[in-house]
């Protein structure tokens, strides 16, 4: 299991130190939530702050766009060269085109599903993306409780991926902790995003507890 701490739960008063600390603690990716106040009822950070995160981080960035007007935000963040740049299927009318645009920047395209979104919406998109991020909470705020029925959704998604694009990874975000990580692993998850669970404890111990 790869581990991607979500900096939404970090102390932004000492963000530089927080980024260096999670990298030294052994994370695999640094997960960054970009919210525009329209697609979700919250505002987070823009490219200036993410650029500072990129400079502080020794690990690849995993940028999750929770926005309207995906094209605009892709162009805004692509110069920072994250490993993954993910967009919500619920908000994108031309998903194949956007995925190719991201790939043309040399970035791995990823698509995100909200908890209620049917995996069938990805059937004709999976071959064009490198990762699917499954939300296990309704996006917008950190510290929410994991929605249990997402496990069945992940299992079904894993079956679909095995058929259409076996190389595609599954990432999960929302309420991830040592209490559900084994179930997530069994369901087929490859990358665990965790915010409050990691940042409210010993970073190295919490990251290691998710590496199952």
Cα(195)–Cα(192) distance, integer angstroms: 10
Which residues participate in catalysis according to the annotation? 33, 173
What torsion, rounded to 10 degrees, do the Cα atoms 87, 91, 94, 99 define? 0
46 in Cβ contact with 17 (< 8 Å):
no
Half-sphere exposure of 168 (CA within 13 A, CB side): 28
Distances, alpha carbon 47 to alpha carbons 106, 114, 202, in Å: 18, 24, 29
Residue 62 CA to residue 60 CA, distance in Å, equals 7
Cα Rg for the chain, rounded, in angstroms? 16
């Amino acid at each position: 299991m790869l581990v991607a701490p979500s900096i939404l739960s970090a102390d932004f008063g000492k963000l530089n130190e927080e980024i260096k600390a999670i990298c030294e603690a052994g994370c695999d990716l640094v997960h960054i939530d970009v919210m525009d106040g329209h697609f979700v009822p919250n505002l987070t950070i823009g490219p200036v702050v993410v650029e500072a995160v990129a400079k502080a981080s020794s690990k690849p960035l995993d940028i999750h766009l929770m926005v309207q007007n995906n094209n605009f935000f892709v162009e805004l963040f692509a110069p920072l060269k994250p490993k993954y740049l993910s967009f919500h299927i619920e908000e994108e009318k031309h998903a194949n085109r956007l995925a190719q645009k991201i790939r043309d920047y040399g970035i791995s395209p990823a698509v995100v599903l909200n908890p209620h979104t049917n995996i069938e919406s990805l059937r004709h998109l999976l071959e064009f993306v490198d990762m699917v991020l499954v939300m296990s909470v309704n996006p917008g705020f950190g510290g929410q409780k994991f929605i249990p029925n997402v496990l069945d959704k992940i299992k079904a998604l894993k079956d679909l991926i095995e058929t259409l694009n076996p190389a595609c990874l599954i990432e999960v975000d929302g309420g991830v902790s040592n209490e559900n990580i084994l179930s997530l692993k069994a369901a087929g998850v490859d990358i665990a995003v965790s915010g409050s669970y990691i940042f409210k404890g010993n970073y190295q111990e919490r990251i290691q507890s998710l590496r199952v």
